[in-house]
Structure 1
Amino acid sequence: MNDLFFVNGRFLTQKLTGVHRYAFEMCCALKEIGCNFIVLSPQNILSDYSCPFEVRKIGKRSSHFWEQIELPLYLRKNYKNSLLVNFTGLGSILHKKFITTIHDVSFLINPKWFSRFYYLWYKNITPIVARKSLRIITVSNFSKNELISRLNISPAKIEVVYNAVSEKIACETDNLDLSQKGNYILTVSSLDPRKNFIQLIEAFHLINQKNYKLYIVGKRDKVFTAQNYEKLNQSNIIFLGYVSDEELSHLYQNATIFVYPSLYEGFGIPNLEAMTNSCPVVTSNIPPHIEICQDAAVYFDPEDVNDIASKMEMVINDLSLRQKLIENGKIRAKDFSWKKSAEKFMQIINQEIN
């Protein structure tokens, strides 16, 4: 494909986690398969990113002002009828031709999970973006159905383009000796109320595994409602904060189990990361997790502390079950790749440009 399009590069100014990783990996994969695009970014790109694709810094501001004012003005002046792709956030509503990615509608499910500004911004702007967008990308069939029912969007307008796992995190391990795994349970996510860490910690205290530790990887983000996790930091509950991709891969590979108790997701990429790194997955029984993990996880009710504890203990104590989860996880993880997702996205781009 030779037609030029542009990507909203505001994600390059934010930590390489979650939806920002989706944006970065999609751009890398699109470059690899030969797409012709330029990422337009504010000046303050983080050192986290080493970009193999073309990046053009524009404007003088950042954040919402850059996205809603400087970005569309630049395109109107220089590339008036161009296509703009937004992989994160809501993008610029003033540009005429754009494709938007809406990962989930968690802000509509429970406003209390988010800061008031974030909730009001997304609640009011998302319907406008959804209406104006040429196409909408989302990351699971569950999220597609949520967009249809909650925002009254036509199914024909929505395309599912799955997440995958970064090559820096993915590690396919054969002949793994499970007896050599570390005595710790791992969970990974932003410190967000909907990730349900309080319930997980309560469940951890109930299990009869006193020689185990709980490692919590993730950082706090100002868009989420504040919770005082620090008071829960005990000798056997360790908040590791943000870690590098290499450190994260190592943590997955050496954990006895990975637990993800989230109450609501669009996809749940940490489950897939754990599966790719030969770590048994124990996760909440919400629809996107079942869609993505299938038979490669043991599921629990995320609002039932006793069920969370029971399922964690069951998997820790059953070596053959852990091995089966690892095998199923490796098989299922092969269904997802950034190249596959980029190829599907390129088909969508071609349809809109042509």
Structure 2
Amino acid sequence: MKIFLDGIVYSIQNFGGISVYFNELIRTLENENCTFQITTYNDKKQNPFPSNAEVTEISRFLERYRNCKINLNGFDIFHSTYYRNPDNKKIKNIVTVHDFVYEHYNNGLRKFVHSSQKFSSIRNADRIICISEATKKDLLHFLPDLDESLIDVIYNGVSNTYRPENIAHSEGQPFLLFIGARAGYKNFQVAAKSLEYLKDFKLVCVGGGKLSESDLSGLPSSIQNRIEHAGFLSEEAINHLYNQAFCLVYPSSYEGFGIPVAEAMQAGCPVVTSQCEAVIEIGQDSLTIVENLDAFEFSRNIERLFEKEYRQKKVSSGIALSKKYDWKKTHQQTLEVYRKALI
């Protein structure tokens, strides 16, 4: 089996869940008895996982929106990192669908361009991978005529870096942890405003860029002074924060999977979350689920974690469940999808 990976995502984003997904796939393929190539472009913003199989091409005008040029014959499988079709129609085309954020939360030309490319890629696929049942449900909502037998649900994995460190909570001011982007459907201000009812806590943010005026808009200064941005950290540093935090606060309205939730579970950090379908699918009984997107309700549910028995039950459940999310398992199942496509 000869596999062509289209590395266009490395030219689109500086860092993100999709590049993590494909970095782990490259790591798996390096250890498999198969031939593969990962093609990247000279305008890339990040490098993929180091591999002798990487080939760098000159980026054409509007490269990300064009069919992917395959520079050699003989490839059996094409797998794009971001919704492109191959220029060779004989090759088997695999698409991984991560979420439908654009379709739910964007409008106008931006949504039209993104969705047109995505839907074209999906409709031209020989097999489709969805990263959760919730994402599969969304896929069939937006493309109801799709042949469901072509879809495989394969969960994302979690890095082995995330693990319990057997340390107490932060020795200083106790803190809530917020990971990732903060705009729109991520509902950052719900997490921030919960500090109004949790006078002894601060909120530590990781990723998502520096705190902006819109992030802090409308918040009393007494709350703003208790919000910190830890910057862009290594996995080891984030794991340490998971272990020190009182909990991960995750009020997002929508996710395709919710990797920080699985990371926190594996690290032994309890999670307080909203009624997000994919997150509930991933976290199940280990989560503390808040019915409404309301800061007061979040604060009351966060306070439930003061109860030692309740907290330990959530932590133990999360650690046990997190074993389900393993990158090696994810990509062994991905290789099975490749084989199915060739039958």
Under TM normalisation by the shorter chain, which class is it?
0.7 to 0.9
Whole-angstrom CA distance in 1 between matches of 2:24 and 2:88? 24
Alignment match, 1:67: 64
Task: Give how far 1:210 is off.
Answer: 1.9
Alignment match, 1:9: 7
SS of equivalent to 1:72: coil
Quick one: which of 150, 162, 165 aligns to 2:158? 165
Alignment match, 1:56: 55
Aligned residues: 334
SS of equivalent to 1:285: coil
Whole-angstrom CA distance in 2 between matches of 1:49 and 1:211? 42
Quick one: which of 203, 208, 216 aligns to 2:205? 216
Whole-angstrom CA distance in 2 between matches of 1:313 and 1:15? 36
Check conservation: 1:196, 1:262, Cα contact below 8 A.
yes
| Cα 1:83/1:137, change in 2 over 3 Å | same
Give 5+ residue unaligned stretches, structure 2: none
Matched, 1:107 2:93: no
Whole-angstrom CA distance in 2 between matches of 1:264 and 1:181? 33
RMSD across aligned C-alpha pairs, in angstroms? 2.6
Check conservation: 1:27, 1:53, Cα contact below 8 A.
no
Quick one: which of 79, 84, 90 aligns to 1:85? 79
Whole-angstrom CA distance in 1 between matches of 2:236 and 2:45? 18
| Cα 1:200/1:177, change in 2 over 3 Å | closer
Quick one: which of 192, 195, 198 aligns to 2:186? 195
Scaled by the length of structure 2, what TM-score is found?
0.88
Further displaced range: 326-335 or 210-219: 210-219
Further displaced range: 227-236 or 275-284: 227-236
Matching residue's letter, 1:24: N
Scaled by the length of structure 1, what TM-score is found?
0.85
Q: How does 1:289-300 map to 2 (within 5 A)?
A: 289-300=279-290
Alignment match, 1:185: 176
SS of equivalent to 1:295: helix
Further displaced range: 90-99 or 150-159: 90-99
Task: Give how far 1:55 is off.
Answer: 0.9
Q: Percent identity?
A: 25
Task: Give how far 1:240 is off.
Answer: 2.8
Matching residue's letter, 1:277: A
Matched, 1:343 2:341: no
Alignment match, 2:149: 156
Whole-angstrom CA distance in 2 between matches of 1:309 and 1:290? 19
Q: How does 1:265-304 map to 2 (within 5 A)?
A: 265-304=255-294
Whole-angstrom CA distance in 2 between matches of 1:179 and 1:185? 10
Task: Give how far 1:219 is off.
Answer: 1.8
| Cα 1:136/1:181, change in 2 over 3 Å | farther
Alignment match, 1:307: 297
Task: Give how far 1:189 is off.
Answer: 1.4
Check conservation: 1:11, 1:23, Cα contact below 8 A.
no
Task: Give how far 1:7 is off.
Answer: 0.7
Whole-angstrom CA distance in 2 between matches of 1:181 and 1:274? 20
Whole-angstrom CA distance in 1 between matches of 2:58 and 2:121? 23
Task: Give how far 1:200 is off.
Answer: 1.7
SS of equivalent to 2:285: coil
Query: Could you list the per-position Cα deviations for residues 203-249 of structure 1 after superposition, in whole angstroms to 9, with x for gaps in the alignment?
Result: 232x2x3221101112259xxxx981254582201123322222211
Whole-angstrom CA distance in 1 between matches of 2:95 and 2:149? 14
Alignment match, 1:136: 128
Whole-angstrom CA distance in 1 between matches of 2:167 and 2:2? 46
